[in-house]
Amino acid sequence: MKASHRIAGIVAVVVSSVFLIAFTYAYDWFPTQLTPGSGKIDGLYKLLTAVSIPFFVLIVAFMVFCLVEFRVDPSDPPDKDGEPIHGSTRIELIWTGVPLLVILLLGIYSWVVLDKVEAKQKNPMVINVTGQQYIWNYEYVKNGSEKLGVKTSSDLVVPVNKPLEFRITSLDVIHSFWVPAARLKRDATAGVVTPLRFTPEKTGSYDIVCTELCGVGHSTMRGRLKVVSTADWVKWLKAQKSGGAGGGGTPGGGPDGKQIFTSNGCGGCHKLAAADGAGTTGPALDGAGLSADELRESIVDPGAKIANGFPNVMPATFGKSLSKEELDALVKFLAEAGK
């Protein structure tokens, strides 16, 4: 190859790398930054991309060079051997050692950034997050020294600027709890509790998504993280404890069937207007007209009778996770609401 061609190739590699790196930093790739750590993770991502670009451009350029420089001469016989090539210890050390050093340094820096982002905070609000097909359930366990004892599903309501500590697990298959605005996610695995920590610094409504293919209803396993002012959150908490969705019971003190339906995520799969259920993975319960015995059997043993056109994906755990009183209250509510 001519010297002028080599110089042109080097210039092309440098110019392409600079342009792509500048574009990476100039373009806004990410959603809203919800936490102080979101910006740090965005910066880390851009750094990793910027470091990767020169290697990518160089490798592609070398492949093009080889295709041109060592292409077969049409005048040569088809069975002609190529020119013998001898190894170079120096080149092999360079192309092994340099990437290894870069990867080690980036790995250490990434660990430092993530360690800071997920560091423990004082007096966090502890929330148990339980994934199941196809809903997220939340149990507000503690706020500093205060016991909360509130359960919700789908929507997670938290106060702004309050450190949060999620303890994530699953009732069935593997799920993955992801809040894009926080740039953090954790797998939810049955029998394992995994922590996730961040502090929301902006009010608003943000997506919660399952990013692990968990069955036919995976795409519907979504929710909202609602970050509100401290005063609004206190009002919301009082409403839950006094009998709102996810808290309280019947006036007589027994379990509330509607609350059980809501807090166990039934509305994520079934449509039921009386409980604001809008799911389509399972059959609609509005106007189903099922008897108490039929409803009880479907809850305890969902595989006994399967509605036409729907897969058998309902968890078979409710017979154990619900007490007899809770099951009776749920069946009574569904029988009345489904007439």
Q: Is the pLDDT of residue 249 over 60?
A: no
* Per-residue pLDDT, 65: 85
* Per-residue pLDDT, 66: 84
Q: Which of 3, 256, 245, 289 is nearest to 137 (CA)?
A: 245
Q: What is the pLDDT of residues 21-44, one digit of tens each?
A: 999 888 888 888 999 899 999 999
User: Average of pLDDT values for 156-166?
Assistant: 94
User: Average of pLDDT values for 254-271?
Assistant: 79
* Per-residue pLDDT, 233: 92
* Per-residue pLDDT, 254: 66
| Torsion angle, alpha carbons of 26, 31, 32, 37, to 10 | -80
Q: Is the pLDDT of residue 139 over 80?
A: yes
User: Distance between CA 213 and CA 176 in Å, rounded?
Assistant: 9
Task: Note the pTM of the prediction, 2 decimals.
Answer: 0.73
* Per-residue pLDDT, 318: 81
* Per-residue pLDDT, 255: 77
Q: HEC states along 50-91?
A: HHHHHHHHHHHHHHHHHHHHCCCCCCCCCCCCCCCCCCCHHH
Q: Residues of 173-206 as b/e, b for ≥16 C-beta within 10 angstroms? A: bebbbbbbbbbbbbbbbeeeeeebbbbbeeeeeb
CB-side neighbour CA atoms (13 Å) of 16: 16
Task: List Cβ neighbours of 65 (8 Å cut-off, separation of 6 or more).
Answer: 1, 9
